[in-house]
Structure 1
């Protein structure tokens, strides 16, 4: 269970939580896809989400004035990864395809 940051609005906290969920599922997906043939684009996009969403979570948690700018990029990367993952039937890809649109929506709400 995550602890709410009292310095964040409800929307910012939702975005932070969504980013952390995106990082977790994309780490799982990227790792699992390494064992699958033809999954290079999925791995690349998942790694992009991990990097961008984790950075956005850090900036949001410390109430950085730059987190809003990064929120839009995070939303775009999540959408691209969700689209790629939705094309694959693996459990880890389907988990990404389900969770990433929620992250994108939460990020856009604070962008």
Structure 2
């Protein structure tokens, strides 16, 4: 398969992290549906999915607002990681880990 060379190569690791994070948050959101939570999980997962996907779209089109989207995405991912990390379930732990990686990659785009 030929790699799309139209996407800014500086975004590739962030794109991957955002996509993985969106999937892991979707899994967590689904698993937490109907489960009582003492914090903002799974609501944070929904917010995180939306911000990750918007960030991916911005990077794909080389939007002049990419850094702003990445900054917001990092903030939302950090919040979601903090919320999900408070739970003992494997899906929450995996979600928190993906969110932290995504936040780091989004912050790298800002530099």
Query: Structure 2 matches for 1:77-88, cutoff 5 A?
Result: 77-88=76-87
**Residues 39 and 29 of structure 1, relative CA distance in 2, 3 Å threshold:** farther
Q: Deviations over 1:61-88 (max 9, x none)?
A: 1111111111000001000100111110
Partner of 1:50: 49
Counterpart-to-counterpart distance in 1, 2:99 and 2:12 = 16
Shift of 1:91: 1.0
Shift of 1:53: 0.6
> Which ranges in structure 1 are unaligned for 5 or more consecutive residues?
none
Query: Structure 2 matches for 1:1-111, cutoff 5 A?
Result: 4-38=3-37, 41-111=40-110
* TM-score (norm: length of structure 2): 0.90
> Which ranges in structure 2 are unaligned for 5 or more consecutive residues?
none
**Residues 66 and 4 of structure 1, relative CA distance in 2, 3 Å threshold:** farther
Q: Deviations over 1:22-43 (max 9, x none)?
A: 1100011011111322266111
